[in-house]
Amino acid sequence: MSLLIIALVAASTTSADISHDPAMPAAILYDQSFDFALVGNRAGAFAYYSLEYPGDGSIITIELDMAPGDPVAAQGLGFNVYGKNGFLIGSGTIALGKPDRKVLLWADPNPAPWLIQVYNYLDGVVANLQLEVTGLPNPAPTPQPMMMPVQATTFSVVTASLTGNSGGNFHYYKIESTGDGSEVVLQLYHTPDNQWISNGFGLKVYGPEEGMRVAQGSHEARFSRDSPGTYLVQVYNYVHAINVTYLLTLTPN
Instruction: Compute the mean pLDDT over every residue in the chain, rounded to the nearest whole number.
Output: 87
Per-residue model confidence as pLDDT tens digits over 81-121? 999 999 999 999 999 999 999 999 999 888 999 999 999 99
* The two domains 17-134 and 149-252 share their CATH topology (first three levels equal): yes
* Closest-CA residue to 226 (of 248, 208, 202, 205): 208
Instruction: Name the fold adopted by 149-252.
Output: Jelly Rolls (2.60.120)
Asked whether 233 and 157 are in contact (CB, 8 A), the reply is: no
User: Per-residue b/e over 29-59, b at no fewer than 16 CB within 10 Å?
Assistant: eeebebebebebeeeebbbbbbbebeeeeee
- Is the pLDDT assigned to residue 15 strictly greater than 50? no
Q: Is it true that domain 17-134 has CATH number 1.20.120.530?
A: no
Question: Average pLDDT for residues 32-39, to the nearest whole number?
Answer: 92
Phi then psi for 49, rounded to 5 degrees? Answer: -135, 155
What DSSP string describes 183-223? EEEEEEEEES-SHHHHTTEEEEEE-TTTT-EEEEESSEEEE
**CA 137 distance to own-chain centroid:** 17
Phi, psi dihedral angles at 205 (to 5 degrees)? -125, 130
Between CA 183 and CA 99 the distance in angstroms is 54
| Euclidean distance between CA atoms 118 and 64, whole angstroms | 9
For the cut 50, the answer to whether the pLDDT of residue 7 exceeds it is no
Residue-level pLDDT at 245: 93
Q: Which residue has the higher pLDDT, 146 or 194?
A: 194
Domain residue ranges in the chain: 17-134, 149-252
Confidence at residue 41, expressed as pLDDT on a 0 to 100 scale: 95
- pLDDT tens digit sequence for 212-244: 889 999 899 999 999 999 999 999 998 888 889
Tell me: pLDDT of 141 over 80. no
| Of 21, 125, 120, the residue nearest 79 (C-alpha) | 120
Q: Report the pLDDT value the prediction gives residue 145, as an integer from 0 to 100.
A: 56
